[in-house]
Amino acid sequence: MSEPVTFESLDLSPAILKAVEELGYQSPSEIQAQCIPLLLERKDVLGLAQTGTGKTAAFALPLLNNVDASVKQPQILVLTPTRELALQVAEAFEQYAKYTRGVEVLALYGGQSYGVQLSALRRGAQIIVATPGRLIDHINRKTIDLSNLNALVLDEADEMLRMGFIDDVESIMEKTPEEKQTCLFSATMPKQIQSICSKYLDNAEQVKITPRNSTVDTIEQVYWRATTHKNKAIVRFLEAEDYDASIVFVRTRNDTVQLAELLEREGFSAAPLNGDMNQQARERTVERLKSGLLDIVIATDVAARGLDVDRLSLVINYDIPQDSEAYVHRIGRTGRAGRKGKAILFVKGNERYLLRNIMRHTRSDIEQVELPSAKIVEQKRIEALQNKLSMSLDHKDIEFFSEVAQGLGEKLELSQEQLAAALLCLAQQQSPLKVEEIKVQQRERRDRDGNRDRRDDRRGERGDRRGERGDRKGRRNSSEPMDTYRIEVGREHGVQVKNIVGAIANEADISSKFIGEIRLFDEHSTVQLPQDMPAETLTHFQGVHICQRPMKMTKSTHPADQARGNGNRREGGRRFEERGERRDGGRRSEGRDGGKRSFRDPRTDKRRDGNKDGNRDNRRKERGERNEINFS
């Protein structure tokens, strides 16, 4: 019988083992036990595993072990789909390298000042964790040297494919040395990811972790069938559940703000976490959550990608995700590293098919629960009051208050019970102990007015969230004034609509809900943006590159740019809102966050790629044929 694998048996350096022990790691997970020896031997690895299985340590520990601290050049490059995941991976590297002298870690992502990143690059960071968009920008500016790269990691490759980064990833890989170690980690294996593996991985060892189901056993999963307004229900659930910290997932960025404001009015410590916030604000929110200054974050899928906070023990899916992978990633924010957690899913009547899909694809038995009753919430409030009373007995002025209470009782001729009841009545006015039952909405049969009734219900649910906020402008819609801006990149340069959207949404941190119609001409393009763009933002766009060309954005007054019917519009002049969710208060998916854009010139890259592919194949023939990867 083989002995159990320990970190000490994996031939890691004493400095790394000391950091691992300090972090509380007791034994390697399955993927860590299999990947670490292979990566220490500098072999290429293809890892297939779900989120929350310990993938980061599986590649970070052995690659860090192989770093030469005396060489002040990038030696390890990790590509991630989002800024949040890049920061998470970089933080993990820093923790593992705590006692390894001379090793610097740098995260490169859109939204952060170039000055900070350039300064760190000049100091000689050996480990680079980057999003594709910002890394391509540094490559084009020649501010990063990848000639000494020893290892390249693609983390969550399937997510990068889903977010449209694959072209950028391949462009980056072509600019790295031929002789390097390549690792790819993915939860699924689509055909395009298989193609990248066959092209760039050399005799890769495949590590496949197949859990009993795609969700973690330490997470209790339940769902609530929405029989009343969800904003009332979430207050009830948050009061009734026992948790240290919670994350609530909604569909749009606007909803994060609205729901956070609602919960703050109800007395919770809550804050939004979305792509409209600049990077510094998001980092502050996460730090507040980690330190206990904040208990609840309202987040979108992309903004919370890679978030790993020990305190998170409750996940609430306020808006049900559209696919099972998003659900797995959401609930994976809790129940990590063996910790217990709970996930609650809100399901409206017309969303039951999504629940069935999630249960089928994750092979999870998600049980239905009822809305917590008023009695349960009352008991929770009484217990909280009891704890406060116990703590108040240690107050330094307790004897003074005791004398005051005795005097009031004598003057008012009240018994101790009557006086205590009167004082409790006054003390609980801001947060009443008595709770009213929430009326359950009765569903009516479909009739000729049924469609209208259902629309009213949906509007009412979202409307409650808006109505309680007071005088606040609604979401931007197409009737608001827009200006047309011209950029000096057109179809002849290989630009696509997604390139323009990605550059604007990411580089200036402008929400895509503010991006209107985009039209492509031969030598230039136009994009509609809100009136009165700040001068510094417009100036910033002068230096942003798309397809290796500067945008040179200017405000357009030319009639041909203003008219809708003229010019050759890409794909029939498709408006930006056709790319995702509706524009009337909704918006497209947040996939653009994290620096999503393409800077490649397809015409020049095609010629360059062809030459490199030929040279790459010749070199491989000299070394001998590779073994094909079996993706089964």
pLDDT in tens, 486-524: 998 888 788 888 888 888 877 666 666 678 888 888 888
pLDDT for 477: 46
Q: Are 304 and 247 in contact (CB under 8 A)?
A: yes
pLDDT for 431: 65
Nearest to 538 by CA among 527, 524, 522, 523: 527
pLDDT for 257: 92
**Strand duo 549-550 + 545-546: pairing:** antiparallel
Say whether pLDDT at 530 is over 70.
Answer: yes
Edge-to-edge strand ranges of the sheet holding 181-186: 105-108, 127-130, 76-79, 151-154, 181-186, 45-48, 205-208
Structure confidence at residue 214 as a pLDDT band (50, 70, 90): low
C-alpha radius of gyration, the chain, whole number: 28
Question: What's the whole-number mean pLDDT along residues 594-602?
Answer: 37
For residues 138 and 530, which has the higher predicted lDDT (pLDDT)? 138
Span(s) in the chain for CATH 3.30.70.330: 482-584
pLDDT for 413: 82
Structure confidence at residue 333 as a pLDDT band (50, 70, 90): confident
Edge-to-edge strand ranges of the sheet holding 341-347: 270-273, 296-299, 245-249, 312-317, 341-347, 219-225, 367-368
pLDDT tens-digit series, residues 428-442: 666 666 666 776 655
pLDDT for 560: 61
Residues 6+ apart with CB under 8 A from 557: none
482 SS3 class:
strand
pLDDT for 408: 85
Say whether pLDDT at 572 is over 50.
Answer: no
Question: What's the whole-number mean pLDDT along residues 444-469?
Answer: 42
pLDDT for 259: 94
pLDDT for 462: 42
**Which amino acid, 300?**
T
Greatest mean pLDDT among 276-285, 311-320, 416-425 lies in 311-320
pLDDT tens-digit series, residues 165-198: 888 899 999 999 989 999 998 877 888 888 888 8
Half-sphere exposure of 217 (CA within 13 A, CB side): 4
For residues 166 and 249, which has the higher predicted lDDT (pLDDT)? 249
CATH of 7-208, one of 3.40.50.300, 3.20.20.70, 3.90.1110.10, 3.40.50.720: 3.40.50.300
pLDDT for 1: 42
Span(s) in the chain for CATH 3.40.50.300: 7-208, 219-373
Structure confidence at residue 623 as a pLDDT band (50, 70, 90): very low
How many helices and strands (H and E) does the chain possess? 22, 20
pLDDT for 26: 77
Q: Are 593 and 131 in contact (CB under 8 A)?
A: no
pLDDT for 559: 65
Q: Are 555 and 483 in contact (CB under 8 A)?
A: yes
pLDDT for 125: 93
- The fold of the 482-584 domain, in CATH, is Alpha-Beta Plaits (3.30.70)
Mean pLDDT (the chain) is 77
Structure confidence at residue 64 as a pLDDT band (50, 70, 90): very high
Percent of the chain with pLDDT over 90: 28
Arch. (CATH architecture) of 219-373: 3-Layer(aba) Sandwich (3.40)
Say whether pLDDT at 384 is over 80.
Answer: no
Say whether pLDDT at 527 is over 60.
Answer: yes
pLDDT tens-digit series, residues 65-106: 999 999 999 999 999 988 878 888 998 899 999 999 999 999
Distance of alpha carbon 144 from alpha carbon 142, whole angstroms: 6
